Chain A
């Protein structure tokens, strides 16, 4: 079963626009929600992460919004740039668990 559902599968945004990627989870035992960024031919890299006791976390142009009651979280990329073109994965983990559950990924293309 897919425990973390991610949408959309692909996204095209104009330079300077806002990119929004959404994820939903089922397991209420998850207690950490990271986002990973992957460029072509490279391994994924941790971008930003949030705990469920925080509703929003911002790092530069990247913001995670978290809705615990809806079991949803999203990544917003403000002022999107061509260099942001990559695949983004949401994920979830629990301290009691020993692994990370990934969404299926969103391929973002920022056109100049």
Chain B
């Protein structure tokens, strides 16, 4: 079991470029989440998908879009990257939305926007 995998591990973008962060889980979980982590700010929820076919905004959704491709995969897209989006991005999954307290995190993607 790989758990939650994320690609890429590192990425440098120029302002205005676009990219998609990929996330996959092999635990047959229903719910998936995208967070960003910034120094002193903790983990802030960007978007989540309570189940396949649904997505909802979290605390900081502006500048991002998501796609729940299937039960396993949940991608995060930056259409026009900005320096304020420099951060570490984590994908997570949980068995159901009712067990949101029990999340399994991927290793993260460190993104720098210049």
Task: List chain A positions with a Cβ less than 8 A from chain B.
Answer: 6, 9, 32-34, 41-46, 49, 89, 91, 93, 95, 97-100, 102-105
Task: Given A43-B4, A99-B33, A99-B48, decide whether A32 and B101 contact each other with a Cβ distance below 8 A.
Answer: yes
For the complex, what is the distance from the CA of A76 to the CA of B103, rounded to whole Å? 22
Nearest A residue to B102 via CB reads A46
13 more A-B residue pairs beyond the given contacts A43-B90, A98-B100, with a C-beta to C-beta distance below 8 A? A32-B100, A42-B107, A44-B103, A45-B104, A89-B42, A93-B100, A93-B101, A98-B31, A99-B58, A99-B100, A100-B33, A100-B45, A104-B40
A-facing residues in B76-114 (Cβ within 8 Å):
90, 92, 97-98, 100-108
- Rank and list the top 7 A-B pairs by shortest CB-CB distance, nearest first: A43-B105, A32-B101, A104-B42, A98-B97, A93-B101, A102-B43, A93-B100
* Total count of chain B residues near the partner, CB < 8 A: 26
For residue A53, give the distance in angstroms from its CB to the closest CB of chain B.
14
Whether A43 and B42, one on each chain, are in contact in the complex, defined by CB atoms closer than 8 angstroms, is: no
Task: Given A104-B41, A105-B42, decide whether A98 and B102 contact each other with a Cβ distance below 8 A.
Answer: no
Q: Would you give 29 A-B contacts (Cβ < 8 Å), ordered by A?
A: A6-B42, A9-B40, A33-B101, A34-B101, A34-B102, A41-B107, A42-B108, A43-B105, A43-B107, A44-B105, A45-B105, A49-B102, A89-B42, A91-B101, A93-B100, A95-B98, A97-B100, A98-B48, A98-B56, A98-B100, A99-B33, A99-B45, A99-B100, A100-B45, A100-B103, A102-B42, A102-B43, A102-B44, A104-B40
User: Is B50 on the interface with A (CB-CB < 8 A)?
Assistant: yes
For residue B50, give the distance in angstroms from its CB to the closest CB of chain A.
5
Nearest A residue to B91 via CB reads A43
* A93 surroundings in chain B (CB, below 8 A): 100-101
* A105 surroundings in chain B (CB, below 8 A): 40, 42
For the complex, what is the distance from the CA of A99 to the CA of B54, rounded to whole Å? 14
